[in-house]
Amino acid sequence: MAVVATEIFSQSEAGSSQSNGARTVVRRFHITGTDVRETALDAAELPSVGDTQTLDGETATYSGTKSWTRVDGHEDLWEADFEYTTAPGSSTATIETMGSTRATTKAVFRIGNPFARPIGGWDDPQPEDLGGYAIDQGGTPTSIVHIDRTFETIERILLFPQVGAYSNLVGKRNNAWYEGGEVGTILYLGFSWNYDTTSGLWVLRHQFAVDKRTYHAEQVAKTDSKGEPDIEMRGEDNNARFVAKTVYWVQPFPLASFDALPDFP
Q: For 44-91, give the DSSP string.
A: TTS--TT-EEEETTEEEEEEEEEEEEEPTT-SSEEEEEEEEE--TTTT
Q: What pLDDT does residue 57 have? A: 76
Among residues 43, 62, 90, the one where a domain terminates is 90
> pLDDT tens, 187-239?
999 999 998 887 778 899 999 999 999 999 999 999 988 889 999 988 887 78
> 114 and 11 share a domain?
no
Q: What pLDDT does residue 92 have? A: 58
Residue 262 domain flag:
no
Q: What pLDDT does residue 197 have? A: 80
Q: What pLDDT does residue 142 have? A: 96
> 114 and 76 share a domain?
no
Residue-averaged pLDDT of the chain: 87
The DSSP 8-state label assigned to residue 132 in this structure reads: S
> 99 and 72 share a domain?
no
Residue 263 domain flag:
no
Query: What's the domain range around 58?
Result: 4-90
Q: What pLDDT does residue 264 have? A: 72
Q: Cβ-count burial of 133 within 10 angstroms (0-12 exposed, 13-18 middle, 19+ buried)? A: exposed
Separation between Cα atoms, residue 263 and residue 260, nearest integer Å: 9
> 113 and 243 share a domain?
yes
Residue 159, phi then psi, degrees to nearest 5: -100, 160
> 37 and 59 share a domain?
yes
Q: How confident is the model at residue 33 (pLDDT cuts 50, 70, 90)?
A: very high
CB 91 within 8 A of CB 83: no
* Least reliable range by pLDDT among 92-101, 112-121, 171-180: 92-101
Residue 265 domain flag:
no
> 62 and 155 share a domain?
no
CB 209 within 8 A of CB 102: no
CB 50 within 8 A of CB 37: no
Residue 200 domain flag:
yes
> 145 and 58 share a domain?
no
> 165 and 55 share a domain?
no
Q: Cβ-count burial of 136 within 10 angstroms (0-12 exposed, 13-18 middle, 19+ buried)? A: buried
> 190 and 235 share a domain?
yes
> 109 and 199 share a domain?
yes
Residue type, 132: G
Q: Are strands 173-174 and 255-256 parallel, antiparallel or unpaired?
A: parallel
More confident residue, 172 or 67: 172
> 50 and 118 share a domain?
no
CB 110 within 8 A of CB 202: no
> pLDDT tens, 74-116?
889 999 998 887 764 435 567 888 999 999 999 999 999 889 9
Q: What pLDDT does residue 14 have? A: 54
> pLDDT tens, 6-17?
998 864 455 555
Task: Name the range with the highest mean pLDDT among 163-172, 225-234, 244-253.
Answer: 244-253
Spatial CB neighbours of 203, under 8 Å, sequence gap ≥ 6:
154, 155, 156, 193, 194, 195, 196
Number of domains in the chain: 2
More confident residue, 20 or 264: 264
pTM, 2 dp: 0.66
Residue 27 domain flag:
yes
